[in-house]
Amino acid sequence: MTSPAIQDQLLDQLLAQTQSAPAPVAPEQVEAAKDADASAPANATILLVDDEANILTSLKRLLRPTGYKVLTADSGPAGLEILTKEKVDLIISDMRMPNMSGAEFLQHVRTRDPNIVRILLTGFSDLVSTVEAINKGEIFRYISKPWDDREILMIVKQGLDTKRLVEEKRCLEQKVQEQNAQLREWNTKLENKVHARTKELHQTMQFLEQAHGELKKGFITSIKVFSNLIDMREGAMAGHSRRVADLARSLATRMKMAENEIQDVFLAALLHDIGKLGLPDSVIRKPYASLTQEEREEVHKHPVKGQTVLMALEQLTQAALLIRHHHERFDGQGYPDALPGLSIPLGARILAVANDYDALISGAMQMRKLSREEALQDIRQNSGKRYDPTVVLALTQLMGGGTPERPSGKEMETTTDKLAPGMVLSRDLLTRDGILLLARDYLLDERIIGQILHYEKIDGRSLHVFISVR
């Protein structure tokens, strides 16, 4: 009589020679294998360990249609020997074997490679041994003899799917850790280069968060990201966006715009150059008058790009519209839409004046920096052409004293420990280093006062606070 091992070898040869012929397995086994193989990895390797050759043959025939690579061993030591040579994904081991039981074998497997899925094949009388295998070998499942073909195939598939998910999770976690480490490295390198700018920008963003609590949930984080990027690109023009925002807000206040409109003007001014982030440094840091025609055409695209970047943020819809039109001209010769006169939003007309005034005195428009008087004269000469005459008049009145106007009414200087909710700042609240914390006209509340006190404690120096007296 031919031994089971020889029978199995002949079966393998016959299958290789007759690829069109079905495998010599029962129809219900084939059907079960189709169900189990729906999403199973075809390159998985399974090790079968049993001292009974007929059981190994039956299991191997059952698993053959699935496409798995199937290895067999007739004892625990033989199985361990295979593990030194082959990468195995799943093991099915019998419990009762001479020399080394299935529980002992799976315990050794777990020690060598805990990622291998371990399944125990056991009889009903092996309850104690099964518990031992569960406790020591940490098996995935155990299958009782006699087994159901469909069930064993599904258990194998579930085990391989679980192993695949665990490996994917481990890979993702490792990738996240590597990316986090890389990000930390980048942040450390950038910290030394942009420390001064980041500190000032952090204070500006802190002010925005405090001054606009109702917008905090939806867009403060986005504004911080955008403003960080803008400030990092300004170079010698660092602080331009904040200066324009302060001047634009003063103009909007003088022209008696509504509070929400003043807020939109202020936010638009902070972010008005966000569309320039894609431009090269060589273009951003050259005066406009020295740009080539091709470079000017690229610069002219930044208002539309700026609006597009902010399009998805509902709270910045109006600010984004002002950014789009802040390079329109009152005579209709501007860009991107050539809007004339009053068809340009008032906030955009204000932003145009504030932006160009600061660009003139900082040397961003012409080949040299203009004095404040020269810059104001240049703005006046273009009244009715480039700029709205009413905005130019407001700027002239605002600059009449040489500095932005102070609010009317009395004020008093106080210390931070005497601040109380309901007080209004009569001047900008600045650090000892001149960094803006809160703008004038800000209404204090308990939360903001607490943050001011906390900052003063960390800085170790007292702040000068001026409060309006009504």
Q: Do residue 238 and residue 143 come from a single domain? A: no
Residue 11 has pLDDT above 70, yes or no: no
pLDDT reported for residue 128: 64
Q: Do residue 375 and residue 424 come from a single domain? A: no
Q: Do residue 367 and residue 445 come from a single domain? A: no
Neighbours of 136 (CB within 10 A): 15
Q: Do residue 399 and residue 251 come from a single domain? A: yes
Please give the model's pTM, rounded to 2 decimal places.
Answer: 0.43
Residue finishing a domain among 130, 152, 167: 167
Q: Do residue 159 and residue 37 come from a single domain? A: yes
Mean pLDDT confidence for 418-427? 87
Q: Do residue 269 and residue 125 come from a single domain? A: no
- Where does the pLDDT of residue 1 fall: very low under 50, low under 70, confident under 90, or very high at 90 and above? very low
Separation CA 352–CA 361 (nearest Å)? 15
**466 contacts 413 by C-beta, under 8 angstroms:** yes
pLDDT reported for residue 77: 95
Separation CA 368–CA 371 (nearest Å)? 10
Residue range 30-62, pLDDT digits in tens: 454 455 444 445 589 999 999 999 999 999 999
Tell me which DSSP letter residue 425 carries.
Answer: B
pLDDT reported for residue 226: 61
Handedness of CA 75, 79, 82, 84 (dihedral sign): negative
Q: Which two tokens stand for residue 438?
A: 């809160």
Q: CATH number of the domain that 371 lies in?
A: 1.10.3210.10
Question: Any idea which residue has 């839409």 for tokens?
Answer: 337
pLDDT reported for residue 16: 40
Q: Do residue 332 and residue 437 come from a single domain? A: no
Q: Do residue 330 and residue 436 come from a single domain? A: no
Residue range 360-407, pLDDT digits in tens: 988 777 778 888 899 999 999 999 999 999 999 999 988 874 444 444
Instruction: Classify 286 in phi/psi space as left (phi over 0), alpha (psi -120 to 50) or beta.
Output: beta
Q: Do residue 375 and residue 450 come from a single domain? A: no
**293 contacts 261 by C-beta, under 8 angstroms:** no
* Adjacent-strand bridge partners of 443: 424
- Where does the pLDDT of residue 127 fall: very low under 50, low under 70, confident under 90, or very high at 90 and above? low
Residue range 188-198, pLDDT digits in tens: 877 777 676 76
Residue 57 lies in a domain: yes
Those residues whose C-beta lies under 8 Å from the C-beta of residue 314, and which sit 6 or more positions away, are: 218
- Where does the pLDDT of residue 130 fall: very low under 50, low under 70, confident under 90, or very high at 90 and above? low
Q: Do residue 338 and residue 429 come from a single domain? A: no
Q: Which two tokens stand for residue 417?
A: 């420990």
Residue 184 lies in a domain: no
* Domain containing residue 428: 407-470
**365 contacts 289 by C-beta, under 8 angstroms:** yes
CA distances from 144 to 26, 59, 95, 123, 130 (A): 20, 14, 10, 5, 10
Those residues whose C-beta lies under 8 Å from the C-beta of residue 55, and which sit 6 or more positions away, are: 94, 121
Q: Do residue 252 and residue 161 come from a single domain? A: no
pLDDT reported for residue 257: 94
pLDDT reported for residue 209: 57
3-state secondary structure of 110: helix
Residue 186 lies in a domain: no
